[in-house]
Structure 1
Amino acid sequence: MAILYGVLVVLHLVGMAGVVGGWLATVRHPRIAPIMWHGALTALVTGILLVGLSYPAFDGENIDNAKISVKLVVALVVAVLAVVNRRRETVPAGVFHLVGGLALLNVVVAVLWSDRFLG
């Protein structure tokens, strides 16, 4: 189970990198690149699978449901915005930066929302 969990974590990070990397790569001509919506869906699906594996793997201990809920809502918004706007040649700058910014927000929540940082 540990190997499967590790593989899912790697895929989750690759998905996030696709969204953020695509955002940074297309910042001069705002559009939702295929890597962005593929990455958003990859991160969303692997995140859900990771949560599903966390309960039996860790016996439900030290699982922060509030953090998971926030990350799920943000990931859903990113995925929906990316998929809905993927066929447009250009997207409004606000929508484009919202997708990238929310992906970064999810990284910040993942890293900083912990007992190590919040005491």
Structure 2
Amino acid sequence: MGVVYDIVVVFHLVGMAMIVGGWLAQIRSPHPVITPGILHGALVQIVTGMILVGLASSGAVDRDVDNAKIAVKLVVAAAVAGIAVVGNARGREAPAALAHAAGGLGVANVAIAVLW
């Protein structure tokens, strides 16, 4: 199961890269938008995060689960996904603040993962 866990971690990191990379690609634009990549990255993050927690909690891999950290990360990831859904649905009519909020929360989620 260790190999499966590691593969899911790779997909989790790819989802993070889609969020942060999509935001960084738009940051200098006069009107940044939430691309479908940001939306899909947010959904990948939530799904793979839940799989990782499930594998760790079940004892299939030798990992400890900090439930408080996971709860905070899930709330932040849900906020990113919600913002991405709204921003992607509105397209160019969405306020630029939505793109910056999604990207900033994505970076915050990375910081929580690393620093907590």
**Pair 1:102 & 2:69 matched:** no
Which shows bigger deviation, 85-94 or 73-82? 85-94
2:34·2:98 contact (CA, 8 Å) conserved in 1?
A: no
Where is the helix percentage greater, Structure 1 or Structure 2?
Answer: 2
Q: CA deviation at 1:90?
A: 4.2
Structure 2 unmatched ranges of 5 or more? none
Percent of counterpart pairs with the same letter?
A: 54
Contiguous gaps of at least 5 residues in structure 1: 114-119
Match of 2:35 in 1: 33
The residue identity in structure 2 corresponding to 1:4 is V
Correspondence for 2:114 among 66, 89, 111: 111
Tell me the residue number matched to 2:18: 18
1:69-111: CA deviation from partner (whole Å, max 9, x where unpaired): 0000000000111012213124212221110000000000000
Task: Give the RMSD, CA atoms, in angstroms.
Answer: 1.4
Change (3 A) 1:12 1:68: same
Choose 46-55 or 90-99, whichever is displaced more.
90-99
SS at match of 2:92: coil
Q: What is the TM-score with the length of structure 1 in the denominator?
A: 0.88
Corresponding pairs, count: 112
Runs of 4+ in 1 over 2 A off after TM superposition: none
**Aligned 1:45-56 pairs, distance under 5 A:** 45-55=47-57, 56=59
Amino acid at match of 1:6: D
Could you tell me which residue of structure 2 aligns to residue 116 of structure 1? none
CA contact (8 A) 2:33 2:92 kept: yes
